[in-house]
């Protein structure tokens, strides 16, 4: 099995782009949605959500890199 690392820039070995299997992609998207919902809830309560927003953006960038899901890693 080939493992493709998630480097900040570029793909994995041999220029292969990052990819993810469908089940893992769904887990990633569900987590991203939960973070969005948590940001809204915490923001509505007047709390500082800077770190939540940063983590949500990071998850969003990861999801964009592997959209659409392409097979198993």
This prediction has a pTM of: 0.65
Tokens of 51: 């770190």
pLDDT band at residue 67, thresholds of 50, 70 and 90? confident
Query: What is the residue whose two structure tokens read 């770190």?
Result: 51
The tens digit of pLDDT for each residue in 5-53 reads: 555 555 455 666 777 888 888 999 999 999 999 999 999 999 999 998 9
Q: Helical H runs in the chain?
A: 22-44, 50-65
What is the rounded CA–CA span in Å between residue 29 and residue 70? Answer: 15
Cα 42 from chain centre: 21
């Amino acid at each position: 099995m080939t493992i493709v690392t998630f480097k900040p820039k570029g793909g994995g070995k041999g220029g292969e782009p990052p990819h993810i299997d469908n089940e893992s992609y769904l887990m990633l998207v569900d987590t991203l949605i939960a973070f969005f919902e948590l940001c809204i809830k915490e923001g509505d309560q007047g709390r500082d959500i800077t770190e939540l927003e940063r983590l949500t953006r990071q998850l969003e960038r990861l999801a964009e890199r592997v959209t659409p899901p392409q097979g198993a890693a």
